[in-house]
Amino acid sequence: MAFRNLNRFWEWGRKIICVGRNYADHAKELNNPVPSGEPLLFLKPPSAYVREGSPLRLPYYCRNLHHEVELGVVLAKGGSDIQQADAMDYVGGYALCLDMTARDVQDECKRKGNPWTLAKAFDCSCPVSDFIPKDKVPEPHRLTLWLKVNGQLRQQGDTSQMIFPIPFLIHYISGIISLERGDLILTGTPAGVSAVQEHDELQAGIDDLVTMKFKVERR
């Protein structure tokens, strides 16, 4: 199948499905339980997308914004109840992504038992890189992700550390939410998340594949 036009998935993709706590060290650094059996899912709207060259805006109500660098999986075709053995046939490529999180708001949501919408789904909460075609990534479970703030390394991890691998995530998600062409799955973040401030510069990358930079601004 030709995966043409996926390089502009951020302009017409309908869903961003995010996987929380998919790296054990990250779950532990925030004193969260490590998932077993089922992934933790949440959603971002298409307005969360932001591309390099545009600012990463702090939401007005946030006082503790955290970075979370992640591998994103871009769907080449849709489906539901996808079997793990067939799951990689639905992948068109990948992207480097940031799951920006209003940590103070998330902590309050968790305390009250509320959804994470205010903490995770605000505008500019999902910076994305250029599209990486599938044939450029022969083994997506063997990639090194990293993130620097003002030149200082904050996060570095390997996708081999994911608790739930990509075929299982596609299988699990498609049994709950029908997937569509252009949908983006964020696969979780390694340890090292930390706060960013107005005027900070974030640089992130996947070794040998892609890098991107964003400047933080107050909305």
**pLDDT recorded at residue 2:** 45
Q: Which residues of the chain have pLDDT under 50?
A: 1-2
Kindly state whether residue 1 falls inside one of the protein's structural domains: no
Query: Which residue range forms the structural domain that includes residue 81?
Result: 6-218
pLDDT digit string (tens) for 74-97? 999 999 999 999 999 999 999 999
Domain count of the chain?
1
61 is a domain residue: yes
Residue 41 domain-assigned? yes
The reported pTM is 0.96
Strands (E), 168-207: 184-186, 195-196, 201-206
Inside any domain, residue 54: yes
pLDDT tens, position by position, 39-58? 999 999 999 999 999 999 99
Domain at 140, CATH number: 3.90.850.10
